[in-house]
A and B are shown apart, each in its own frame.
Chain A
Amino acid sequence: MQTKDINEDIKWAQINKDVLRSMENPRIGYWIAIAVSLFLLSFAIGAEIYQYNVGMGPANLNWPHMWDLYIATFIFWIGMSHSGTLLSAILHIIQADWRKPIYRFAEAMTTFSLMTAGLFPIIHIGRLWNMYWVLPYFSDRGIWPNFRSPLVWDAFAITTYLTSSALFLFIGMIPDLAICRDNARGWRKQLYTLLSLGWRGDDRQWRNFRRTYMLMACFLIPLAVSVHSIVSSDFAMSIMPGWHVTTFPPYFVAGALYSGCAAIMTLFILLRYFFRFEAYMTMPIMVKTCKLTFAIAMVWTYLNLIEFSSIWYGHDEVAKELLLAKFTGPYSPYFWAMLFFGSVLPFTLAFEKIRNNIPALFVISLLLNVGMWLERWMIVTPTLSLSYHPFAFDVMWPSWVQWFIVLGSFGWFGLLFLVFVKIVPSVSMYEVKEMIFHRRHLANKDIASVMHRRESDRQSGTDAPAPGLEGA
């Protein structure tokens, strides 16, 4: 069984060859995944055309259930986007180098999840042609954007997050795009020449590149936290029972990181299979991802318990009644399923045998995300079915239109992601080389003493001069 994150004897030229080959001849599973994505997307397009022509009636969106699957799925996709931030930015800052072979697709997930999430408010408003109303718009035409509303904050926060995460993804790819440029022909050569911005890998470029990447990582972490806190404020700043909860921002952020980690597991397994990346997406890295997922699952479980207990001891009868209804009412099977998939199932990741079993992990990661999607649904819908006034009590089940559009969003995300990994290297070649270089050299103490040390470190007097370099 492999114990190292990566085989340190692998040749650098081989890394280029393996990764570039992945963009040319994936396994047949890749094409099946493309077909499935297109199939799912066609459902959504059909349903959206129908809804566009007929109106929001067929979606079953009516008072008091003005929010339903569209908003729940919007939150789900925003949450999914936190995977890139966690795996790329946070682990980059703490110098966890095992992230290097797998962070690229996690960053891509972030961008494409946001692009998917952004569709839902547009679909939800029904009148697509008025989507620009969500942006701050001059009041001359009687449109009054309410800056006190978290819905307007959403527009600012998500736009900022999408811009920042797309730039973070792009900047991290530049050295690899230069490698693609040097090896491509035809339209790909032109594309990579344009995208690599003239990168040649000199010390000036690397120095600025690293500073830029680190600074962007530092921006992205608080941004990700603020984005999901603001999304949670859509609910928490209302006075609705079940939504007006103090712990909602951290609860949303933890849930986001959780679903992001589970999605990373799913895509890790798929990409490893599609592109024959067994040498890079190794089992020790998967095991670390499983442990991270398990830890975040426990944080999420804890925050659930905090929410339940604060409602229970909060003496708010309506909120308490709603909590009981979640456990025993019409939505209870889904609520219990959420608790099982979200809090009980992760315990399987505590077993080493399961952590090393790819098919089992694939099923578990999918079920974890089913649990996280149910969580979002169970946040939105039960509150609207059992609010303050008895005349507004109403149990509503989503119609086929909503289900089709939700399913189609997975097809849309899948299609974007699959096209991306075919055009752009899904394993970061230069980062894998760095990982191998530093691991090899850190085994040699003499050389290790000068690795990762800048001139400023030397001037600060924290390190002794390296052997043979005293005069340097």
Chain B
Amino acid sequence: MKKYHLLGLFSNFDEAFTAISDIRHYKIPGVSVDDVTLISPIEHPEIEEILGDRGSHVPKFTLTGALFGCTAGFLFLASAQANFFVQPQGGKPVVPVPTNLVLSYEMLILFGVLSTLVGFLIGAQLLRKRKPLYSENVAIDQVGIEMEVEEKYIEPIKELFRQHQVLEIRDEVVK
């Protein structure tokens, strides 16, 4: 069966919110909120009330990067100081621990930030080709509900959207 991308544009968040609530309450059997994507000009954390906590893996990237930066920074400096950076120390330790702690702290932050960025790019699915149903109005003041559904659900969903004063509905066959 053919699958469709469907985009409904609403004038405000409250209308979109109630439309997704109806989907959540199985008003259209066979369609669940897992198929729903909300597109909006601002973040609406409250949408997780009905979409569920979809989570984010960014903090895991951050933690991994920070731990890597801290340990690898210290080990790299220590091994470098003990090998190709070895210097006349005048009786002081070859590997200066307090100094390396300061520098490891900086490496912790640097790698933490860099891996957070990587986590963001992966988690937010950026740097990919945009889906064809994007509307420039969602960057202004409209709120969009995007779904990928089978052909038989298209009309019931459109009807549901109309009940909630949808401004515009667009659809396109999934290629």
Which A-chain residue is minimally distant from B12 (CB atoms)?
Answer: A437
| Known A198-B130, A434-B43; contact A450-B49, beta-carbon cutoff 8 A | yes
A324–B16 Cα distance when bound, in Å, is 70
**Complex-state Cα separation, A472 to B50, whole angstroms:** 6
A80-119 residues with Cβ-Cβ distance < 8 A to B are none
The answer to the question of B106 belonging to the interface, with a C-beta cut-off of 8 Å to chain A, is yes
User: A153-B102, A212-B117 given as contacts; is B85 within 8 A of A139 (CB)?
Assistant: yes
| Distance A459 CA – B41 CA, assembled complex (angstroms) | 27
Cα–Cα distance between A219 and B143 once the two chains are bound (Å): 32
B100 and A164: CB pair below 8 A? no
Q: How far is the CA of A453 from the CA of B48 in the complex (A)?
A: 8
Distance (whole angstroms) from the CB of A236 to the closest CB of chain B: 13
List the B side residues contacting A456 at CB < 8 Å: 53
Do the beta carbons of B103 and A156 come within 8 Å of each other?
Answer: yes
> Do A203 and B38 form a contact, CB below 8 Å, given A226-B106, A453-B49?
yes
Q: Which of A201-248 contact B (CB under 8 A)?
A: 201-212, 215-216, 219, 222-223, 226, 230
Q: Pick from B49, B59, B126, B127: contact of A466, CB below 8 A.
A: B49
Chain B residues packing against A (C-beta within 8 Å): 13-14, 21, 24-25, 37-56, 58-59, 62, 77, 80-81, 84-88, 92, 96, 99-100, 102-103, 105-107, 109-110, 112-114, 116-117, 119-121, 123-131, 134, 136, 138-141, 146
Nearest Cβ in chain B — how far from A141, in angstroms? 12
A153: chain B residues within 8 A (beta carbon): 99, 102-103, 106
User: Does chain B have a CB within 8 A of A46?
Assistant: no
Q: How far is the CA of A162 from the CA of B20 in the complex (A)?
A: 43
B81 contacts A147, C-beta separation under 8 Å: yes
Q: Quick check: B39 and A208 within 8 Å, CB to CB?
A: no
Nearest Cβ on chain A to B161's Cβ, whole angstroms: 17
Question: 6 tightest A-B contacts by CB?
Answer: A455-B53, A12-B141, A206-B43, A212-B120, A208-B124, A208-B123
Interface size on A, as a range, is 35 or more
Give every chain A residue within 8 A of B96 (Cβ-Cβ): 147-148
Q: Are A139 and B123 in contact (CB under 8 A)?
A: no
Residues on B with C-beta less than 8 A from A420 are: none
Determine the chain A residues whose CB is within 8 A of the CB of B125 once the complex forms.
204-205
Chain A's closest residue to B24 (CB) is A472
Q: CA of A450 to CA of B105 in the docked complex: distance in angstroms?
A: 39
| Chain B neighbourhood of A13, CB < 8 A | 140-141
How far apart sit A212 and B100, CA to CA, in the bound complex (Å)? 28
Knowing A203-B54, A430-B42, the reply to whether A163 touches B110 (Cβ < 8 A) is yes
Cα distance A146–B100 in the bound complex, in angstroms: 12
